[in-house]
């Protein structure tokens, strides 16, 4: 990486600049070298970068709250974009549910959604995931080349989550468009025109799924939408429509974007490290550990916000109440104290399974078991059927669009045999 953020003094750069987000690993090393906590003089945000401190904070939801949703919204009328607000008024109001809530409220939403991701339910999906993988591989092999992101890494998890939600695959392109809109909203990098288009697409998503929710209320099926519509815990009232839409939005994005990024990065790592690819071809039993090592190195949810609820300190750094803290999961997963030779792709790494790509503590990703299942099946199918991959572009042409929270390849042109 020859980015200018590595040439300038740290205090003249921002950890959430486009350059630092697109290619963060060497930059994160600079942050870790100066301590576990770094206060950015430009933004006042506190960045936490080492493995143990990130885990410590992720466990302490009372001091470091996940209720950052409100902090991301306009604080007063002067900050409101009236055109975006007018578009949003056609849909449903935003509510804080799983990602942006804390216990005990978070526990209610999490309990409802956990019912849709039980180990038993995920285990039953393996045959269907394998069928989808092989269908996609057939199409790629028939041509001998592909954009692996567009033709495999995206459609696999998006098809699985659409089927589990219980919506028609005829609307696949809509699901991808809506997922992209949510990602644009999360990115912190969208232009005003992109923000306007994202707002329109999110309202379209809400209207579509509000209809599906109403249908399942009258005619329940064996799918996640029906589970959410009819689920009740501890004699509580069922969820209202804005709450259900918030949960479905998170499931749609978390159910495909992060898995897409991890699968694509895994294939790129195998191309870049033919010795590791050879080990996997010779011993498919390494795939389970491969998944953990890919998650460690890719960390698709690279960063996550926390809001400090009371004056505190981390490793002698005082942090006042109301401060914004960013947990750098991608940095923690490459902490050389926890992972010797942290940038090396090692499919036999003994502690790969300790990675925290799915987060840590009460907010660990609810769909982690489904993502692992999809990755395991995908890599087994690919290793079984494909003799070799090679890049169909120069490596420096590969692009990671900057996003404050998520990180993944936009495309991966391949020739396959």
pLDDT tens string 17-38: 999 998 899 999 999 999 999 9
Helix, strand, or coil (residue 273): coil
Cα first-last separation, the chain: 31
- How large is the angle between the packed helices 257-272 and 274-282, nearest 10 degrees? 100
Nearest residue to 24 via CA among 324, 412, 402: 402
Segment (H or E) for 170: none
Can you give the pLDDT at residue 74? 53
Tokens of 94: 């935003």
- The residue to which tokens 């690819």 are assigned: 277
Q: Output the pTM of the full model.
A: 0.94
Rounded to whole angstroms, the Cα distance separating 141 from 221 reads 36
Q: Beta 324-328 vs 46-48: how paired, if at all?
A: parallel
What's the average model confidence in pLDDT over 311-340?
A: 96
- The residue to which tokens 């007063």 are assigned: 76
- Where in the chain are the domains? 4-416
What's the average model confidence in pLDDT over 225-239?
A: 78
Is the Cβ–Cβ distance between 126 and 369 less than 8 Å? no
**Is cis: bond before 104, omega within 30 of 0?**
yes
DSSP per-residue codes, 47-69: EE-SHHHHHHHHH-TTTEES--T
pLDDT single digits (tens) 153-178: 999 999 999 999 999 999 999 999 99
Rounded to whole angstroms, the Cα distance separating 261 from 282 reads 25
Any bridge partners for residue 312, and if so which? 319
Can you give the pLDDT at residue 309? 97
User: pLDDT class for 136, splitting at 50, 70, 90?
Assistant: very high
Tokens of 104: 């005990």
CA angle 292, 101, 321 (to 5 degrees): 100
CA angle 223, 227, 233 (to 5 degrees): 165
What's the average model confidence in pLDDT over 351-379?
A: 95
Rounded to whole angstroms, the Cα distance separating 172 from 155 reads 9
Nearest residue to 12 via CA among 23, 27, 2, 33: 27
pLDDT single digits (tens) 35-94: 999 999 999 999 999 999 999 999 999 999 999 886 666 554 556 789 999 999 999 998
pLDDT single digits (tens) 237-278: 778 999 999 999 988 887 789 999 999 999 999 999 999 999
Can you give the pLDDT at residue 2? 47
Segment among 69-78, 120-129, 245-254, 322-331 with least mean pLDDT = 69-78
Tokens of 2: 């020859």
| CATH superfamily entry for domain 4-416 | Cytochrome P450 (1.10.630.10)
Rounded to whole angstroms, the Cα distance separating 196 from 87 reads 8
Tokens of 304: 């996550």
Can you give the pLDDT at residue 71? 66
The sign one gets for the Cα dihedral 371, 149, 166, 98 is positive
How much is the mean pLDDT over the chain? Answer: 92
- The residue to which tokens 């199918």 are assigned: 381
Tokens of 248: 């479905």
Counting residues of the chain whose pLDDT is more than 90, the rounded percentage is: 78
What's the average model confidence in pLDDT over 141-164?
A: 96
Rounded to whole angstroms, the Cα distance separating 354 from 201 reads 37
Q: What is the CA radius of gyration of the chain?
A: 21
Residue 235 has pLDDT above 70, yes or no: no
């Amino acid at each position: 990486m020859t980015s200018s953020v590595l040439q300038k003094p740290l205090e003249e750069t921002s950890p959430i600049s486009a350059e630092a987000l697109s290619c963060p690993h060497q930059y994160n090393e600079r942050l870790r070298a100066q301590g576990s906590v770094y206060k950015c003089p430009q933004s006042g945000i506190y960045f936490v970068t080492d493995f143990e401190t990130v885990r410590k904070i992720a466990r302490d939801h009372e001091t470091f709250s996940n209720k950052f949703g409100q902090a991301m919204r306009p604080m007063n009328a002067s900050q409101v974009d009236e055109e975006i607000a007018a578009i949003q008024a056609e849909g449903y109001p935003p509510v804080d549910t799983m990602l942006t809530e804390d216990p005990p409220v978070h526990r209610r939403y999490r309990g409802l959604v956990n019912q849709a991701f039980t180990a038993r339910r995920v285990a039953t999906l393996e045959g269907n995931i394998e069928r989808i993988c092989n269908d996609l591989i057939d199409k790629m092999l028939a041509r001998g080349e592909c954009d692996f992101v567009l033709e495999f890494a995206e459609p696999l998890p998006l098809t699985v989550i659409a089927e589990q939600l219980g919506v028609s695959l005829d609307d696949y392109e809509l699901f991808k468009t809506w997922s992209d809109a949510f990602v644009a909203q999360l990115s912190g990098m969208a232009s005003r025109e992109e923000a306007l288009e994202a707002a329109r697409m999110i309202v379209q998503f809400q209207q579509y799924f509000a209809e599906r929710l109403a249908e399942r209320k009258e005619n329940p099926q064996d799918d996640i939408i029906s589970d959410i519509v009819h689920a009740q815990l501890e004699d509580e009232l069922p969820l209202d429509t804005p709450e259900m839409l918030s949960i479905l939005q998170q499931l749609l994005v978390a159910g495909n974007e992060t898995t897409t990024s991890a699968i694509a990065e895994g294939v790129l790592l195998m191309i870049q490290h033919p010795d590791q690819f050879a080990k996997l071809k010779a011993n498919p039993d390494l795939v389970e550990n491969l998944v953990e090592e890919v998650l460690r190195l890719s960390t698709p949810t690279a960063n996550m916000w926390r809001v400090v609820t009371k004056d505190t300190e981390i490793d002698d750094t005082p942090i006042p109440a109301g401060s914004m803290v960013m947990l750098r999961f991608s940095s923690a997963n490459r902490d050389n104290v926890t992972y010797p030779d942290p940038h090396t792709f090692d499919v036999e790494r003994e502690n790969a399974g300790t990675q925290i790509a799915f987060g840590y503590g009460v907010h660990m990703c609810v769909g982690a078991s489904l993502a692992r299942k999809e990755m395991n099946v995908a890599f087994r199918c690919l290793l079984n059927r494909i003799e070799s991959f090679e890049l169909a572009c120069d490596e420096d042409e590969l692009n990671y669009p900057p996003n404050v929270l998520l990180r993944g390849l936009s495309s991966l042109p391949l020739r396959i045999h």
